[in-house]
Structure 1
Amino acid sequence: MRIALLQMTSGVDPAANADTLRKAVADAAAGGAAMLFTPEMSGLLDRDRARAAASIVAEDDDRVLAAVREAAATVGIWVHLGSLALRRPDGRLANRGFVIDDAGEIRARYDKIHLFDVDLPTGESWRESAAYAGGDAAVLVDTPAGPLGPTICYDLRFPDLYRALSDAGATVLSVPAAFTRPTGAAHWHLLLRARAIEAAAFVVAAAQTGEHADGRATYGHSLVIDPWGEVLLDMGEEAGLGFAEIDPAAVASVRERIPVIAHRRPIPAVTVA
């Protein structure tokens, strides 16, 4: 089956980002894709939290989410909307992804569990937890691409999450992201291929790319990786739409050759010698 990935350079204007997403949904359907995957923070990417606050609203009021749902229903395509910044009832923010079906209905929500609080050698400092609350549940949802386990960006560094998802039946793992350029160049391809190999599952990673209006720069290289760890699509650094063909039967084939799922065992407590 055919899937599409949108590689974006999201800005600080949700309306402009919504227009990009609407066009991508239509173009993905016209290109024969059964499902479109978009990056983390598809609706708003703004490191200026005071400015961003005016654009971050509750889920029911988010115009980007409404636009994508309407577009999906209009052309009859599933969409994994990688994530949006949304306001929770308690006032904290959520970094939340959505799986939307071809009728525009929300089939699943996932709040990013692992928050990006790091100081990089370049001098960049990020404190996602200063505004966002982490999620507390992994999610599995049936899609045309197969049982999908959605994750978000920094989650990629925590393999226990992917083990839990593949134990639960996931054959596709999605990793929408806004990776920085230093960490992307060092770890993006390596970690994504490792997650695919460990789980013997497809990995679909739609990414932000380029120079953003808020001053940050992201790595790009949206990827599709098969269960053997082979890269089926690497979109480089240009924004735009990419397509890949995936064969769901490949998962069973790889898991028969190297039955990593069947061979997993509970990890005993560590004995300190």
Structure 2
Amino acid sequence: MNKRLTLIQLDVHVKDVEYNYNRVTELLHESLSHNPDIIVLPETWNTGFYPSTELINYADANGERTLSLLSTFAREHEVNIVGGSVAVTIDNKVYNTSYTFNRSGTLVGEYSKMHGFSPAKEEIYFAGGTKTTHFELDGIPCSTVICYDIRFPELVRMAALPHTELLFVPAQWPTMRLRHWQVLNEVRAIENQLFLCAVNGCGAIGRVQSTGHSAVYDPWGTNLLEMDTNEGIATVDIDFAVVADIRNKINIFKDRRPELYHL
């Protein structure tokens, strides 16, 4: 089965919520010219990655604005959307949450980032999620983790275990750790034998530069696509027969011995 992934690498404006929603809407419409099967957005595109007490004033209350925008767009244009993530408020707590919609506009995946990036005090200002997400897009088993989560192989393996073939990683990853971004995403694709679609922000987040370099890796670790540091849209076609091929040749899931793993 072949599918076309379209990545939207966004220059998010910190705290400028109206600009960000308008810009995402523009880029979603532009992306339709790529004839996508799945459109993917970056992390915290509504507010910017902005751990602060002010964040609650800018976050999307109960995710309502984001849910309406993405659900309506997916339904009207019959396209799958992995909504990156947005800052949302639920019961006076702020979460870093990803919403995924199928072609009918139905919410099929919801995931809140588990691991707060402690150097930025993210765990203080964002409440952490407690469960993985598993969903299908056009019959393809998928999952999502967010940014810093990719540094935790235990979580990614949990996301991969139910036969996941495509993992999404929305992020706001900084230029100073670009090499980590590239290596970690490549390795997670290899060790879990799946396609990995990592969509990063770009531009300045306060004094920190988001590095861009959104990318797609296949289960062999081959880099199928890597963007530059600029805002833009990029598309790649992927063949899911590759997943069955590598899992038949090197079946790590059959060879696992979880009874010996004591973490």
What is the distance in 1 between the residues matched to 2:9 and 2:97? Answer: 18
Instruction: Give the equivalent residue in structure 2 for 1:86.
Output: 88
Show the counterpart of 1:113.
Answer: 114
AA in 1 matched with 2:26: K
Question: Which residue in the other structure is 1:198 paired with?
Answer: 191
Q: Which runs of 5+ in 1 are unaligned?
A: 119-125
1:65-89 per-position Cα deviation (integer Å, ceiling 9, x unaligned): 3222222222111100110101121
What is the CA distance between 1:176 and its match in structure 2? Answer: 0.4
The 5 A counterparts of 1:44-63 are 44-45=47-48, 47=50, 49-61=52-64, 63=65
Query: Contact (CA 8 Å) 1:79, 1:101: kept in 2 or not?
Result: yes
Q: Return 174-183 or 144-153, whichever deviates more.
A: 144-153
Quick one: which amino acid aligns to residue 35 of structure 1? I
Counterpart of 1:68 in structure 2 is: 70
CA distance in 1, matches of 2:117, 2:260: 29
TM-score, length of structure 2 as denominator length: 0.93
Q: Per the alignment, do residues 48 and 253 of structure 1 end up closer, same or farther by CA in structure 2, a change over 3 Å counting?
A: closer
Whether the 8 Å contact between 1:35 and 1:145 is mirrored in structure 2 is no
Shift of the alpha carbon at 1:149? 1.0
- For structure 2, list consecutive stretches of 5 or more residues without a partner in the other structure: none
Task: Give the Cα separation in 2 of the matches to 1:16 and 1:71.
Answer: 18
1:132 to 112, 126, 129: 126
Residues 123-166 of structure 1, C-alpha deviation per residue, up to 9 Å, x if partnerless? xxx10011111111011100137211110000000111121222
2:109 maps to a residue whose letter is A
Alpha-carbon deviations, 1:164-221, whole Å to 9, x = none?
Answer: 22211111111100012212x2301110010000011000001001224x44311110
- Any residues of structure 2 matched to 1:166-245 within 5 Å, and which? 166-183=160-177, 185-212=178-205, 214-245=206-237
RMSD: 1.7
CA distance in 2, matches of 1:204, 1:145: 17
Identity across matched positions, percent:
27
Aligned mates of 2:55, 2:115 — CA distance in 1: 21
Q: Secondary structure at the match of 1:82?
A: coil
- Separation in 1, partners of 2:254, 2:30: 40
Deviation at residue 267 of structure 1 after TM alignment: 4.9
Query: What is the number of equivalent residue pairs in this alignment?
Result: 259
